C-alpha cells in the first residue's frame, strides 16, 4: 500500500538535495573541460553604465540553474549573487494512456522531486538576504508550500487572485519580502517584488519567463536573467522585450528633447535672400 503524498515529502527532499549537488558538480566539470552547456544564450542588450542588461537563456530549468551556479554564463558563477529568484511550477497534463491512479501518483512524485531540486539550486544562487517566489498552478495538499518550508525553513502563501478567479498560488521565502504585496501570481507581483527586494544593478533570475515580463525588464534597471525552456515562447519573449525597450527609448527621447531645446536662448533663424 502506497504511503500518502505528505509522508513521501522527507524522502523527496533528501533525494532532491543529492540531485542538486550532482547537477552542480556535473556543470562545474562541463565548464572546466570547456564543453558547451546544454542551453543557448542570447544577450539582448550590452551592459550600460547603469548596469541594465538582459540575458535570455533557452533550456530546461535544472541545466540553466546549475550552469549559472558553476559559471557557464557571461557573468561568471552566480552562486550567492542573485537577489531575487522567480520559479514557475506548472504541471503538464498527463497523457490519457497514463491517466491511472498509480501513474498519476508517480507523475506527482517526479514533479515534486524536480521542484525540490530547483529550490535547492535557487537557495545556492540567492544572496543571504535574497527573496524567492514559487508560483504553482495547482498544489494539492499544499505540497509546494511544504517543500519550500523544508528547504528554506519558512514560507508565506499569498491568496489567489480574485479578478479573474484563479487557483494559482504564490509562495514566498526570504527575510527581504515585504508584508504588503499584490495578491495572485501574475506579472504585477513580479514588478512589486523586484522593486521591493532588489536594488539597481542587482541580479534577478526569472525561470519560465513569459512575455508579460517584458514590461518590467524594459523599465527597471537590473541585471536580468530570463530562462524559458520552450523555443517558441523564448522567441516571443525576445520580440516583446525588444519592442518594449524600443518603445521606452522613444518615450525618453521625446520627453528629453523639449527640455534640451528649452535649456538656452534660441537665436533667430536666418533667411536666405
Question: Can you spell out the DSSP letters for 107-161?
Answer: HHHHHHHHHHHHHHHHHHHEEEEEEEEEEES--GGGHHHHHHHHHHS--EEEPPP
pLDDT range class, residue 273, cuts 50, 70, 90: very low
Residue ranges and CATH numbers for the domains of the chain are: 5-256 (3.40.50.150)
Q: Which of 182, 184, 139 shows the shortest CA–CA distance to 161? A: 184
Three-state DSSP class for residue 82: strand
Residue 30 has pLDDT above 80, yes or no: no
Residue 183 has pLDDT above 80, yes or no: no
Lowest-pLDDT range, 11-15, 101-105, 127-131, 201-205?
101-105
Q: How far apart are CA 163 and CA 134, in angstroms?
A: 20
pLDDT of residue 97: 47
- Provide the CA 244 distance to its chain's centre, in angstroms: 19
The more confidently predicted of residues 108 and 20 is 20
What are residue 248's phi and psi, to 5 degrees? -65, -40
What are residue 57's phi and psi, to 5 degrees? -120, 130
Residue 130 has pLDDT above 80, yes or no: yes
And the C-alpha cell for 180?
Answer: 504588503
pTM for the whole structure? 0.83
Half-sphere exposure (Cβ direction) of 13: Cα atoms closer than 13 Å: 17
Amino acid at each position: 500500500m502506497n504511503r500518502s503524498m505528505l509522508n513521501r515529502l522527507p524522502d523527496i527532499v533528501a533525494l532532491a538535495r543529492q540531485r542538486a549537488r550532482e547537477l552542480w558538480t556535473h556543470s562545474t566539470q562541463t565548464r572546466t573541460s570547456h564543453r558547451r552547456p546544454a542551453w543557448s544564450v542570447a544577450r539582448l542588450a550590452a551592459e550600460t553604465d547603469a548596469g541594465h542588461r538582459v540575458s535570455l537563456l533557452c533550456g530546461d530549468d535544472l541545466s540553466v540553474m546549475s550552469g549559472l551556479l558553476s559559471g557557464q554564463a557571461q557573468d561568471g558563477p552566480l552562486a550567492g549573487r542573485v537577489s531575487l529568484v522567480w520559479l514557475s511550477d506548472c504541471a503538464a497534463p498527463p497523457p490519457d494512456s497514463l491517466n491511472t491512479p498509480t501513474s498519476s501518483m508517480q507523475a506527482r512524485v517526479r514533479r515534486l522531486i524536480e521542484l525540490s531540486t530547483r529550490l535547492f539550486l535557487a537557495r545556492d544562487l540567492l544572496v543571504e538576504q535574497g527573496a524567492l517566489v514559487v508560483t504553482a498552478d495547482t498544489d494539492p495538499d499544499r505540497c509546494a508550500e511544504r517543500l519550500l518550508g523544508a528547504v528554506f525553513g519558512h514560507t508565506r502563501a499569498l491568496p489567489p487572485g480574485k479578478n479573474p478567479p484563479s487557483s494559482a498560488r504564490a509562495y514566498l521565502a526570504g527575510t527581504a519580502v515585504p508584508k504588503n504585496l499584490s495578491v495572485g501570481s501574475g506579472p504585477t507581483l513580479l514588478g512589486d517584488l523586484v522593486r521591493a527586494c532588489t536594488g539597481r544593478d542587482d541580479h534577478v533570475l526569472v525561470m519560465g519567463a513569459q512575455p508579460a515580463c517584458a514590461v518590467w525588464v524594459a523599465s527597471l534597471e537590473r541585471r536580468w536573467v530570463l530562462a524559458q525552456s520552450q523555443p517558441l515562447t523564448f522567441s516571443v519573449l525576445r520580440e516583446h522585450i525588444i519592442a518594449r525597450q524600443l518603445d521606452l527609448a522613444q518615450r525618453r527621447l521625446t520627453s528629453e528633447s523639449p527640455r534640451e531645446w528649452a535649456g538656452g536662448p534660441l537665436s533667430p533663424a536666418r533667411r536666405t535672400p
